[in-house]
Amino acid sequence: MFGTDSIDGETVGFIDVGTNSVHLLVVRFYEGTMGTMVFQDKEVIRLGQNLYSSGYIDRDTIEKARLVISDFAQVSRKMGADRVIAMATSAARDAVNKKDLLDAIRSDGVEVSIIPGYEEARLIRLGVFGPVAPKEKSLIIDIGGGSTEVVLCREREDIYLDSMSMGAVRFAYGSGIPNDKALKFADYDHLRREVDLQSYHTCRKIRELGFSKAYGSSGTMIAMAEMCTARRGDGDASYMMYYEVVEVMKSIYTKDLEERKTVPGMNPARADIIVAGGAIVEEMMYLLGIDRIDISQNGLRQGMQIDYLVRHGHSDFDVRGSSVLALAGRCQYDRDHANFIRLNSLRLFDRLKELGVHDMGPDMRELLSYACTLHDIGEFINYPKHHLYSYLIITNSNLAGFTTEELNIMGLIARFHHKKFPSAASKIFGDMPPGLIKQVRECAMMLKIADILDRRHCSAIKETAVDVSDDVLMLDLTSEYDISMEVWKLTTISSEIEDVFGLKLKIIRS
């Protein structure tokens, strides 16, 4: 159970009514996890398109918002949602006729709350990191349609939060600078100077407090990272560098609307607001001295999900472990087999470290543990190639709490528990450092050995004693059953074991 107020088995729909888009996230909560997404959707409605020139949301846009939100609520309920929670942000905060918007939404029985900027910032932090942020001071910048939220946090502490009146839609439609024409440098510089004015106090405070690492969330950040990645050509949109942002912005603000749509990595639906949003990205990175910013796919709606748990008394959960279990459960994994594999892999890890065979630390041990839990989830799609599908699912899962590199490590460890084992020179490792390749291969081999020991999924081997002597790895297996098949299978990978650990294999049956 999560706690005294159990929500195990409950389904909830979370609707984020933003200035640019309305997002839906439907989550089903399972025992011992943060819950798992069962559906998500998005519709661009541009609440702020007329707002920032007139102060009002026009009637047509209000009606469009009502239809979309009503439809999202119905979808949530059809999927079994017991509750639908809707929150509106910057555009609803700023509109003179916000009551008309709320009345229209509520006319279909959907309750919606307008949340303050500081609350929006807090929820974004929960969405990006969960209840516990990294140990080092971490900065989050979320550039929305109407506002930009900034959070400086460390572990469970929100050191500084702010919400600034600048956003991609606000600047694109309210600054007086054309959003469909090629701009001169002076016009683009005007947008950057507006960022300076709106963020002056916040940036000064952040510089005073300092931070170790910066993270970006929201559609604008993701869109910018996609263009930087296309320019870089490595397919890794999990980060972007300041110099890349500068180059991208030079290439797009000098183009008109139709020309922008052809820029590699550009989302055509954002072509009218990307110059305004990109100006905020570039200037904030410059003002705060950010060379690299890592991109999170999570934001407000995931924060709403975690806040729901916290408000029901479930604040002490492991974000990383929970997201792994939620994915495993969704893929209908064999829990008993996965637990057996995890236990034996970690025992092998600890014993081989004790014997001086490897020098990996707790971080790699943790990733091995998660890879063990997820190693067979590809069976959900196809058994003969399940190891390949496990790799694809893990690396594309956007699991909460993990970096792209960590997901790749876990995916590789899971991929090579079955079939052909890779050499250290395999192209699958890409530009991974040699030391990390060595660790990934060692962990993958531990998982492969543990998986062979339970190849029949019946926990036949009661105990495995491990020792090393004269460059020989001795596995002493204790079982009440005939384990000839397991022993034979281990011998077939003896050359791979020797290649990875530099040890010959000897098997003893007790």
Q: 150 and 238: one domain?
A: yes
Q: 134 and 100: one domain?
A: no
Q: Report the 10 Å Cβ neighbour count for 488.
A: 11
Give kind and range of the element (H or E) at residue 167. none
In a domain, 472, yes or no: no
In a domain, 384, yes or no: yes
| Whole-number pLDDT of residue 5 | 62
The number of folded domains in the chain is 3
Q: 211 and 289: one domain?
A: yes
In a domain, 260, yes or no: yes
Dihedral angle sign, alpha carbons of residues 241, 247, 253, 256: negative
Label each residue of 336-364 as H, E or C. Answer: HHHHHHHHHHHHHHHHHHHCCCCCCCHHH
On the question of pLDDT at 33 being above 80, the answer is: no
CA 141 from centre of chain: 15
284 vs 236: CA distance, rounded Å: 22
Tell me which residue range forms the domain holding 391. Answer: 320-457
More reliable by pLDDT, 396 or 142 = 142
In a domain, 107, yes or no: yes
On the question of pLDDT at 285 being above 90, the answer is: yes
| Whole-number pLDDT of residue 378 | 93
41-68 confidence digits (pLDDT tens): 999 999 999 999 899 999 999 999 999 9
Boundary-marking domain end, from 457, 472, 505 = 457
Q: How confident is the model at residue 376 (pLDDT cuts 50, 70, 90)?
A: very high
Q: 293 and 385: one domain?
A: no
219-249 confidence digits (pLDDT tens): 999 999 999 999 999 888 999 999 999 999 9
Q: 111 and 122: one domain?
A: no
Residues of the chain above pLDDT 70, percent = 98
Q: 165 and 274: one domain?
A: yes
In a domain, 3, yes or no: no
Beta strand pairing status for 148-154 and 83-88? Answer: unpaired
Q: Which of 150-154, 411-415, 455-459 has the lowest mean pLDDT?
A: 455-459
469 vs 354: CA distance, rounded Å: 13
Q: Do residues 28 and 7 touch, judged by C-beta distance below 8 A?
A: no
Taking all residues of the chain, what is their mean pLDDT, rounded to a whole number?
92
Q: 264 and 413: one domain?
A: no
| Whole-number pLDDT of residue 4 | 46
* CA-to-CA separations, 395 to 127, 236, 402, 493, in angstroms, rounded: 20, 12, 10, 26
| Whole-number pLDDT of residue 15 | 97
In a domain, 431, yes or no: yes
In a domain, 245, yes or no: yes
| Whole-number pLDDT of residue 383 | 86
Domain of 85, CATH number, reads: 3.30.420.40
More reliable by pLDDT, 456 or 291 = 291
On the question of pLDDT at 317 being above 90, the answer is: no
229 vs 214: CA distance, rounded Å: 18
128-138 confidence digits (pLDDT tens): 998 888 899 99
| Whole-number pLDDT of residue 18 | 95
| Whole-number pLDDT of residue 1 | 34
pTM to 2 decimals? 0.78
Boundary-marking domain end, from 63, 90, 115 = 115
Q: 356 and 443: one domain?
A: yes
Domain of 351, CATH number, reads: 1.10.3210.10
| Whole-number pLDDT of residue 319 | 77
Q: How confident is the model at residue 381 (pLDDT cuts 50, 70, 90)?
A: very high
In a domain, 500, yes or no: no
Q: 359 and 278: one domain?
A: no
Q: 100 and 151: one domain?
A: no
Q: 148 and 270: one domain?
A: yes
| Whole-number pLDDT of residue 34 | 81
Q: 23 and 86: one domain?
A: yes
On the question of pLDDT at 190 being above 70, the answer is: yes
Amino acid at 133: A
What number is the average pLDDT over the span 327-331? 86
Residues 6+ apart with CB under 8 A from 418: 386, 387, 448, 451
What number is the average pLDDT over the span 416-444? 93
On the question of pLDDT at 2 being above 50, the answer is: no
| Whole-number pLDDT of residue 20 | 93
| Whole-number pLDDT of residue 106 | 93
